Structure 1
Amino acid sequence: MSGGKDIKKALDEIVDREYTFMHICGTHEAAIAKSGLRSVLPKGLKIVMGPGCPVCITPQGEIDAALELAGKDCIIATYGDLMRVPGTKGTLDSCGGDVRVVQGVHKAVDIAKETEKEVVFISVGFETTAPTVAATLLTNPPDNFSILCSHRFVPPAMKFLLEQGEASLDGFMLPGHVCVVSGYEMYEKFAVPQVVAGFEPDDILLGLYMLVKQVKEGRAEVENAYPRAVSKEGNKKAMEMLYQVFEPCDVEWRGFPVIPKSGLRLKPEFKKYDALDKFGVTIKHVEKNSACICDKVLRGIADPTDCKLFGKACTPQNPVGPCMVSHEGACRIWALYNQKKY
């Protein structure tokens, strides 16, 4: 197929019933909404967003831990998306502490080199960002540097979603950015149609076509529609560094319970960089107590516009939930591009 029109025509011809596929990437959601892709999909074909925003799935207890660290006279270095995610007692943006936005862990280390104060980097992200943090810790940063580790792995969350069956999914569009680093071999254990897709509208249409084709043919495998960037083995060196510094652990996701082996923690030989250990801070589970439905949006069982707060009490200027804060959050994306249900 030579282009978007050809792919769309083929997709129109092949869709013969209702299909629901989930993507697990905020950049996919932004591309879909910005291009108006949902408005041109065949009737019955639905693509929903899952837990593909690392800021959104960071539970409130970890935000509270970051706020507690800010109260201990630490310099907090963080990505801009985390600044306004609500904790139990406010946000990093409003806490009154020394909180600085950085573009990456290396910038946080630069701050630590220029001060005697303790510097804590709030280290969030999937397989895409964890290797950069691992590489930095392998360079022996200053003793006044540490991290609050909030990294997650994508496959265990997929396993949970499949076992729960809430969203009645026919398959997954795999995250292109994550697969650039991790490859896609680890996804082959799931007996469900999966396609790695890129981020142009044509890439996404092709991914959907390949997913529908798998379902119709009774296949359940991983196919790569993004070969210009993704290989089966991924970036082996990056993953080797990740496992040199981190090990899997059980961890809670926002909107999910504790998912086994879905998080990362520092190995014992790197514990001196663990801010929780260093400052005696613990992460506590926080019960949901608002009308926000970010938890359901992250599980693919609700759209942002299903929320009573969307566009009213909750806006990008005054966010109530994390999905309205992050640039990769479904609610913010839908608000930005005036996305509606189709």
Structure 2
Amino acid sequence: MATNAESGDDELQFRDPEKAEQLTDELEALMDEIGEPVNVMHVCGSHEQAIAKFGLRSILPDDLTVRMGPGCPVCVTNMPEVDEAVALAEEGKIVATYGDMFRVPGTEKSLADARDEGADVRVVYSASEAAEIAEEEPDREVIFFATGFETTAAPTAAVLTSDPPENFSVLSAHKYVPPAMEVVAEMPDTDVDGFLAAGHAATITGYGLFEDFVEEYDTPAVVGGFEPIDVLYALARLLEFIRDDEAGLENAYPRCVSREGNVPAKEQLWEVFDTTSGEWRGIAEIPDANLVLSEDYAHFDARERFDIDVDPGAADPLTEDCICGDIMAGQADPDECELFGEECTPQDPVGACMVSSEGTCKIWLEYGGQPDL
């Protein structure tokens, strides 16, 4: 049964120490009632940032484990996708992308490496900013290397439905979260008792999207926000479902999320994009988890417009020791990787999890992982 949580008559303060203590006590009581260890997975880098930054793991019950799943779109962008963007930049085209993608390693080099060698690679904050560059540079081809989940795919779709310049195109590496959750739920080595779903993606899709998942996999899910109280409250609601052995769904982020989501944004999203199978870096080939431009918008598709010559070389031998895939599948923590903080750092990343601000490894290195505060 899907429910939409309400905060009550009192104004909810999202960094209220007293409320946090009350919720922590509630979590302890729920774990006592459950009587066995519980493993929860969230699928959002913003959740991991909140959990790590505010030291929430230090106040969680000992038997409650909260791990991050494949919730960092930069981290799951596959090497050949980066190689395509690098190849286009090296051909003399302008490649615009988000800052988090700038230093993600491809097979041989990153976009940052390509820029250091003279390619025109620019950091933008939105697809619309990339389209503005195309307007300002009418004699140049401008490619927006588009990454992110539904939250950023919807704005990309909005730009493409707004008659962008003819010299503008999109190299889509957008991903769609629900199929990845299904893959994780089906993994034989993944013991996940419940999912904390991403609130910002659900502002687009609506929390009703998860109803079929909850029913099919008999696993509870709670949509949560990103302040400390949001996270603790969502975990408490999730533990209630687990205690009652109920595969329930709840929206614990009602100030931003509705059951239907942003209907106009969804309509644009599915007008512009189709789903297709694709490799998620370090995880697996996932059916219907990559977003590609639909036939009606194929003339904006960089893969259709250009002959992209990608000749991948040998990957860095250190990548064989990288366990980003296990980390994103919730089967390992960053500090279990022998490269973590040594050979692999934000300044010299081996794996994509160390690059993005939403990558688990970078977050753990910045905030100390599982602090004992």
TM-score by shorter chain over 0.5 = yes
Aligned counterpart, 1:93: 112
Asked whether the equivalents of residues 29 and 49 of structure 1 are also in contact (C-alpha less than 8 Å), the reply is yes
Deviations 1:201-260 (A, max 9, x none): 111111111111101101102101111111111101100000111111111111222211
1:103 and 2:119 are equivalent in the alignment: no
- What secondary structure is seen at the aligned counterpart in 1 of 2:113? coil
Question: Following the alignment from structure 2 to structure 1, what is the Cα–Cα distance between the partners of residues 313 and 187?
Answer: 22
DSSP-derived class of the 1:65 partner: helix
In 1: Cα distance, 2:196 partner to 2:24 partner: 17
* 1:204 counterpart = 2:231: yes
Deviation beyond 6 Å, 4+ runs, structure 1 = 282-288
How far has the Cα of 1:18 moved from its partner?
0.3
1:245 to 261, 272, 281: 272
Measure the CA separation in 2 of the matches of 1:13 and 1:247: 45
Q: Which residue of 1 aligns with 2:250?
A: 223
> In structure 2, do the counterparts of structure 1 residues 317 and 124 end up closer, same or farther at CA, with 3 Å as the change threshold?
same
After TM superposition, the structure 1 stretch with the greater mean CA deviation from structure 2, 315-324 or 76-85, is 315-324
Out of 33, 39, 63, the residue aligned to residue 52 of structure 2 is: 33
Residue 67 of structure 1 corresponds to which residue in structure 2?
A: 86
Cα contact 1:75–1:120 (8 A) shared by 2: yes
SS in 2 for 1:262: strand
Among 178, 182, 189, the residue aligned to 1:159: 182
How far, CA to CA, are the matches of 1:324 and 1:247 in structure 2?
30
Aligned with 2:327 (options 297, 306, 310): 297
Could you say what secondary structure the match of 1:220 adopts?
Answer: coil
- 1:312: Cα distance to partner? 0.5
Which residue in the other structure is 1:333 paired with? 363
Distance 1:294 1:69 in 2: 27
**1:287 Cα deviation from its structure 2 partner:** 9.1
**Cα drift, residue 82 of structure 1:** 0.6
1:4 Cα deviation from its structure 2 partner:
1.3
Give the distance between the partners of 1:20 and 1:133, measured in 2 at CA.
35
8 Å contact kept, 1:149–1:265: yes
Do structure 1's residue 23 and structure 2's residue 42 form an aligned pair? yes
> Structure 1 244/85 Cα, relative in aligned 2: closer, same or farther at 3 Å?
same
On the 8 A contact 1:76/1:122 being kept in 2, the answer is yes
Conservation of the 8 A alpha-carbon contact between 2:87 and 2:309: no
Q: Is the 8 A contact 1:180 1:230 kept in 2?
A: yes
2:3 matched to which residue of 1? Answer: none
Among 351, 354, 364, which residue is 1:321 paired with? 351
**For residue 126 of structure 1, what is the aligned residue in structure 2?**
149
Aligned positions, number:
342
Q: Does 1:84 align with 2:103?
A: yes
Shift of 1:285: 9.2
CA contact (8 A) 1:21 1:173 kept: yes
Find the aligned partners of 1:81 and 1:173 in 2 and give their Cα distance: 24
C-alpha distance in 1, partners of 2:147/2:310?
Answer: 15
Mapped to 2, the partners of 1:174 and 1:217 lie a distance apart of: 20
Residues 1:6 and 1:45: Cα distance change in structure 2 (over 3 Å): same
Report deviation, 1:268.
1.2
- CA distances 1:93-151 after superposition (whole Å, capped 9, x unpaired): 11121000001011111111111110000001111011111110111111111110111
Map Cα deviations across residues 303-332 of structure 1 (whole Å, 9 max, x no partner): 000000001111112111111100000000
> What SS does the corresponding residue of 2:96 show, helix, strand or coil?
strand
| Aligned counterparts of 1:5 and 1:341: Cα–Cα separation in 2 | 18
> 1:47-96 CA distances to partner (integer Å, 9 max, x unpaired)?
00001111011011101111111111110101011111011121101112
Take 2:365 and 2:356, find their aligned partners in 1: how far apart are those partners? 12
User: C-alpha separation between the residues in 2 aligned to 1:284 and 1:181?
Assistant: 37
Of 189, 200, 207, which aligns to 1:177?
200
* Structure 2 unmatched ranges of 5 or more: 1-6, 13-18
Contact 1:61–1:284 (Cα < 8 Å) also in 2: no
Aligned-residue Cα RMSD (Å) equals: 1.7
Amino acid at match of 2:27: L
Alpha-carbon offset, residue 192 of structure 1: 0.6
The one-letter code sitting in structure 1 at the alignment partner of 2:307 is: G
Compute the TM-score of the two structures, normalised by the length of structure 1: 0.96
Native 8 Å contact 1:62 1:283 kept in 2: no
Q: Does structure 1 residue 150 correspond to structure 2 residue 180? A: no
Shift of 1:23: 0.3
Percent identity (aligned):
45
**1:236 and 2:263 matched:** yes
The 8 Å contact of residues 180 and 289 in structure 2, kept in 1 or not, is answered as: yes
Q: 1:282 to 1:203 in 2, by over 3 A?
A: farther
Amino acid at match of 2:79: Q
- Residues 19-63 of structure 1 show CA distances to partners (whole Å, capped at 9, x for unaligned) of 000000000000000011001111110000001111011011101
Structure-2 change in CA distance of 1:306 and 1:263 (3 Å): same
